[in-house]
Amino acid sequence: MNPRVTLACLAADAARWGTTRLLHRGGGNAPGAVALRVAPGIIGSLGSALDASVMVTGTNGKTTTTGLAADALAASGLNVTCNRAGNNMASGIAAALVEARSARPPRAGCFECDELYTVQVLPALRPRALVLLNLFRDQLDRYGEIDHTQDVIAEALRRSAATALAFNADDPLCAAIADRVDNPGVPFGIDEPTGLEADRISDSRFCARCNTGLDYAYVHYGQLGSYRCPACGWARPELSFAAVNLRLTCGGYEFDIEDRRAGALQRTHVRTRWSGLYMVYNVMAAFVACVLGGGDTSRFQEVLDAYEPASGRGKVFSLDGGFEVSSNLAKNPTGFNRMIQQVRADDGRYLALFLNDNDADGHDVSWIWDIDLERLRDLSDLRLVCVGGTRREDMAVRVKYAELGAPIELIESVEDALGLMPEPERLHVIANYTAFPPVVAELERLCELGTCLNVQTKRDRPGSSTAPGRPATPDPVPLDRPLRIVHLYPDALNLYGDGGNIASLAKRCAWRGIPCRVDQVLMGQELDLTDADVVLLGGGADRDQLAVAEELRGRREKLADYVADGGVLLAICGGYQLLGHSYMMGDERVEGLHILDLETVAGKTRLIGNVAIESSVCATPIVGFENHAGRTLLGPDEHALGRALVTGTGNNGEDGGEGVLHDGVVGTYLHGPILPKNPGVTDWLLARALRRRGCAVELKPLPDELETLAHDVALRIATH
């Protein structure tokens, strides 16, 4: 090592000693941050001493896959360095490399890397392979849209041209990156239909080359499956490694991994102890990483049998008195849906959901409305749903609208949830990123105490309350036909939990006895607004929104006539921009629908954060979350939806206005989604739609305690 690198290692050692011995914390990122400050090239310097290394990235499954791959390489007789704790930024990888130097230096490296840090780490480390697991929306206020993440990873690969890209070919978003770079490609995937876990929402099902909607032979979950573009023929690549003969057993999955690279097919049979399809992908990716890292897979099954997920993930804690708690981490809709599948597989009866909105989680919690909580209605006897975390009120509203038939309780801790269970059973806990470590720490503490848990109901405890579920069954309201709610292109415009807006409209009708029906208009379908009463046009990623813009331009007159006739329309973010004359997608000007007199130009920065506005639409401030680079300017005859209570937010961050209110049209950048936390806005839209129908229906008050709690939390965050 050169003197600067040696000095950096010594400084990192001192930082580790100080954090572990004096502050009694894990070493974490601090030693690596110190080392990088002293020697910015330390990752390349120490990494070059390894005989081989592999790097793992992607939205979900990085820590598990990295741990499995490292164990598989170690089982091959290699001395492996790995950032097992999940410290996956450049500082965490540097810390792992510094700590691993010893009298027996490592021969192999296996590193987890955050997607946005690949462009820093990959060109420095130059591993044999980058294993790309999947790409799902995650922390939109930090990562931005998935297109941005794809750009970062592709650039990282271009700067490390010899690195092979092992990618989940079932994910068109991963395959699109492989299609853009010249690195050697190693596609892997599940090469048969499973028919088990397809999701209501996917992140993108559009062709990477021509932006046409993809056709699927089958879907596993999200956008993962076997796809082909009907226009240009772009399709899932031929698989180098394929999972076949999948069989779900009482203990997990059994399947064969076929290595199809050589002329003679090689097949390895594996058994997992996990019932989720996501673990099939993680296991496959770890297998591929071991092969590409120079390991021997003959002992791979032994590795699977011995592996325990890191940091309490997927662990079952056995507590005194016969209680059990399963702890599960989920930080985005796709991950949460996989955990829900686990609860369904166990036919769970007690559930606790923890939702935080700290920096590491992302401050935008709209994604919880893309969780398929409604699937829990299939449980035979769900008895209790507890919600905790900094945004527990938002999660409580989400659970309320799922109508699971179980009481909802606001809690502070796992012990609170256990205290509400009348008998010893298993509690299924699902927590997002920063909420998860405290859950595990609490469970470890309870295990160490070994004392009987207090099972008195929370209603008997000071300062606690029972959250209501759903309103009582109302008397039906006579209408000549149901109120028709039209959701435009939810298969493409689904970025900000817009399904929550549809749920708010439909449920608040149902809870009042007002008959309604929801019609979805998908890409390529006929647009019929002749008897529409409320229309929703949501926001999407750039590629998906562009496809919608092209389709809607051919149907412009139908939407324009509906608006001119006083039709009620809620347009969110990209949908709001699309109603104007034009908007910007990068440096490209995209023609709008020219229905409203507004123009969206490019801004130098994104406007991101919680927002509150005063509006004539409802008595209380409207709250939500904005995340947009465009700056929208209203024409002289258009009026803003409201006045921003937070300086520098809204349409353009300058004139103080947010959104547009044009007759029956509400256009806004606010998501969250906007309607569940702002029932006054929902009721304004419904009342307007009923008046347009000539219906003298009074909107009866509803028990909105949970909605009010969630609203007030968001208002406090926005204005303090």
Which active-site residues does the annotation give? 573, 671
Please give the full DSSP string across 350-411, using - where no structure is assigned: EEEEE---STTT-S--GGGGGS-GGGGGG-S---EEEEESTTHHHHHHHHHHHT-SS-EEE-
State how far Cα 572 lies from the chain centre: 19
SS3 for 81?
strand
Please give the full DSSP string across 497-548, using - where no structure is assigned: -THHHHHHHHHHHHTTT--EEEEEE-TTS----TT-SEEEE----HHHHHHH
Contact 640, 665 (CB under 8 A): no
Phi, psi of 394 (to 5 degrees): -65, -45
Characterize 674-696 residue by residue with b for buried, 16 or more Cβ atoms within 10 angstroms of its Cβ, and e for exposed.
bbbbbbbbbbbbbebbbeebebe
Pairing of strands 568-572, 534-537: parallel
CA distance linking residue 338 with residue 164, whole number of Å: 29
Q: How far are the Cα atoms of 94, 308, 376 from residue 125, in angstroms, in the given order?
A: 10, 28, 44
Count of CB atoms situated within 10 Å of the CB of 7:
14
CA distance linking residue 127 with residue 501, whole number of Å: 45
Say which residue the tokens 């006739």 belong to. 565
Q: How far are the Cα atoms of 83, 181, 304, 437 from residue 312, in angstroms, in the given order?
A: 16, 37, 17, 8
Say which residue the tokens 């900000």 belong to. 496
Tokens for 348, please give them.
């769970």
Contact 143, 365 (CB under 8 A): no
Beta-carbon contacts of 94 under 8 Å, excluding residues fewer than 6 positions away, are 12, 31, 32, 33, 35, 36, 42, 43, 46
Contact 529, 567 (CB under 8 A): yes
CA distance linking residue 213 with residue 207, whole number of Å: 6
CA distance linking residue 367 with residue 203, whole number of Å: 12
Give 584-593 contacts, CB < 8 A, sequence gap 24+. Answer: 584/629, 584/630, 585/542, 585/545, 585/546, 586/542, 590/546, 590/549, 591/549, 591/553, 592/549, 593/552, 593/553, 593/556, 593/559, 593/560
Q: Which among 223, 197, 439, 497 is positioned nearest to 340, based on CA atoms?
A: 197
Omega before residue 673 within 30° of 0, cis: yes
CA distance linking residue 509 with residue 700, whole number of Å: 10
Helix (H) or strand (E) holding 236: none
Q: Which among 61, 202, 84 is positioned nearest to 133, based on CA atoms?
A: 61
Tokens for 585, please give them.
């997608």
Pairing of strands 129-132, 164-168: parallel
Contact 580, 660 (CB under 8 A): no
